[in-house]
C-alpha cells in the first residue's frame, strides 16, 4: 500500500494546478505548488479561494454542482512580464464521508496562441479572398468595357474566343465637327473631361437599346446593334440611339458655353466580330457596313444622321426619313442615301 505522504508528494508535483476546497466556506484545504504559484495567497485571507480568484462565481458553481455538472472558467493571470491563459475546472467530490470541491487548473496559453494564430490566419485569408474578388471584379469590369459580355464569358471559360459572323447588323459611326481645332485651343484636361462625360452618356444610351459600344478612336464613337446577340430590330435600335445622341448634344449645347456638333453615319449589312491581339485584346468588327458607316459619317452635315438604303429599308413607319441627293462614296459608287430626321411615335 502506498503511503499517504507519497500521494501528497505526487499531487504537489503535478503538471496541473490542483486544490481541494471546503464547499462550506470555500477555504482551501490543500493546494499543490503550481496552484500556489498561479494564485498566490492574499495577506487578508490567504485560504479563501474567492479571494485568490475574484472572477469565481460560487453561486453559479453550486448550481451546476447540484445538477451533477462541473464549472469551467477561463481567465488570465499575470506572472511578472508574462501573461498566462488558464482553464479551471471545479467539481464536487465525496470522500471519507464528506464533500469537497476539487479545482484543476491547466495552462492553455499555447492552445490560445494557436487559436489566435489560426483566427488571424483565417481573417487574413478572408481579407485576401475579398481583395482577390475585388480585383477580379475590377478586371471583369475593365474587360467588359472593351468586349461584349458573351465574348468575355467565352474567353473566361475557354481561354479563347471564336470569330463570329452576323448576317445582319447595323453600325453607327459618330464624329465631332472641329474637334482638332478644339484640341489645340482648349485646356486638355477640361476638353477630355467633357469628352468623357459625353461618351459616358452615349454608353448609357447605347445600353438602353441593347447596343454595344465597340470602341472610341479619338473623338469618334463606334456602336453596333445586332451582335453579339442577333435581333431583328437592329436597325430600329441603332436609329433610336442615333436620335437620342443628337438630342443629348442639343440639350447639352443649350446649357453649356462650349458647343459639341456631331456627324453620324449608319449602315447595315453582314459583319464579323472578333477579338484581335495577343497581349492587348481589342474587340473589333469587320465588314463592308463598317466602312460604309465611316464614309457616311464623313459626308454628313453637322448634326445630320445619314443612313444607307439597307438601314432605311429596315426602318418602319415609326421614323421619318428623307432621301438625299446622290453623292459619290469612295468604294461604293453613288448609293441611295437617306437622312434620319426624327422618331414619329415615342419621345425622342
Residue 3: pLDDT above 70?
A: no
pLDDT confidence of residue 279: 64
Residue 51: pLDDT above 80?
A: yes
Q: What is the CATH number of domain 4-107?
A: 3.30.450.20
Q: Which residues contact 259 (CB under 8 A, 6 or more apart)?
A: 253
For residues 333, 339, 345, 346, the Cα torsion angle rounded to the nearest 10 degrees is 100
Percent of the chain with pLDDT over 90: 33
The domain locations on the chain are: 4-107, 161-343
Which one, of 53, 12, 5, lies nearest residue 32 by Cα?
12
Which one, of 243, 236, 222, 199, lies nearest residue 292 by Cα?
222
Q: How far is CA 41 from the centre of its chain?
A: 58
Residue 109: pLDDT above 70?
A: yes
pLDDT confidence of residue 179: 82
User: Which residue shows C-alpha cell 489560426?
Assistant: 118
Q: At what angle do helices 234-255 and 188-208 cross, to 10 degrees?
A: 140
Section 24-28 average pLDDT: 91
Residue 187: pLDDT above 60?
A: yes
- The SS3 call for residue 212 is strand
What number of other Cβ atoms are within 10 A of residue 286's Cβ?
A: 15
CATH architecture for the domain at 161-343? 2-Layer Sandwich (3.30)
First-to-last CA distance in the chain?
A: 106
pLDDT confidence of residue 348: 46
pLDDT confidence of residue 205: 94
Residue 149: pLDDT above 80?
A: no
Q: Residues 182, 191: contact at Cβ < 8 Å?
A: yes
Amino acid at each position: 500500500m502506498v503511503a499517504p505522504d507519497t500521494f501528497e508528494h505526487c499531487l504537489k508535483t503535478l503538471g496541473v494546478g490542483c486544490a481541494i476546497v471546503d464547499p462550506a466556506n470555500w477555504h482551501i484545504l490543500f493546494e499543490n505548488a503550481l496552484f500556489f504559484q498561479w494564485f498566490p495567497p492574499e495577506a487578508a485571507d490567504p485560504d479563501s479561494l474567492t479571494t485568490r480568484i475574484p472572477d469565481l462565481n460560487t453561486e453559479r458553481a453550486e448550481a451546476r454542482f447540484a445538477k451533477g455538472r462541473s464549472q469551467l472558467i477561463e481567465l488570465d493571470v499575470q506572472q511578472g512580464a508574462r501573461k498566462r491563459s488558464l482553464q479551471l475546472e471545479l467539481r464536487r467530490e465525496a470522500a471519507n464521508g464528506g464533500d469537497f470541491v476539487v479545482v484543476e487548473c491547466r495552462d492553455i496559453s499555447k492552445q490560445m496562441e494557436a487559436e489566435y494564430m489560426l483566427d488571424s490566419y483565417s481573417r487574413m485569408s478572408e481579407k485576401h479572398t475579398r481583395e482577390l474578388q475585388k480585383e477580379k471584379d475590377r478586371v471583369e469590369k475593365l474587360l467588359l468595357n472593351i468586349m461584349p459580355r458573351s465574348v468575355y464569358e467565352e474567353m473566361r471559360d475557354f481561354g479563347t474566343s471564336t470569330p463570329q459572323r452576323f448576317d445582319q447588323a447595323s453600325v453607327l459611326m459618330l464624329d465631332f465637327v472641329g474637334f482638332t481645332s478644339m484640341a489645340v485651343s482648349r485646356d486638355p484636361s477640361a476638353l477630355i473631361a467633357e469628352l468623357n462625360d459625353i461618351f459616358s452618356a452615349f454608353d448609357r444610351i447605347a445600353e438602353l437599346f441593347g447596343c454595344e459600344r465597340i470602341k472610341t478612336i479619338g473623338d469618334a464613337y463606334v456602336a453596333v446593334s445586332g451582335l453579339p446577340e442577333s435581333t431583328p430590330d437592329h436597325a430600329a435600335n441603332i436609329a433610336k440611339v442615333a436620335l437620342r445622341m443628337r438630342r443629348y448634344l442639343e440639350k447639352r449645347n443649350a446649357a453649356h458655353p462650349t458647343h459639341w456638333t456631331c456627324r453620324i453615319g449608319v449602315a447595315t449589312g453582314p459583319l464579323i466580330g472578333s477579338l484581335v491581339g495577343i497581349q492587348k485584346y481589342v474587340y473589333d468588327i469587320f465588314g463592308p457596313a463598317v466602312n460604309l458607316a465611316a464614309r457616311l459619317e464623313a459626308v454628313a452635315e453637322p448634326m445630320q444622321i445619314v443612313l444607307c438604303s439597307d438601314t432605311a429599308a429596315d426602318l418602319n413607319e415609326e421614323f421619318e426619313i428623307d432621301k438625299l441627293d446622290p453623292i459619290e462614296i469612295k468604294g461604293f459608287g453613288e448609293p441611295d442615301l437617306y437622312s434620319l430626321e426624327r422618331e414619329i411615335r415615342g419621345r425622342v
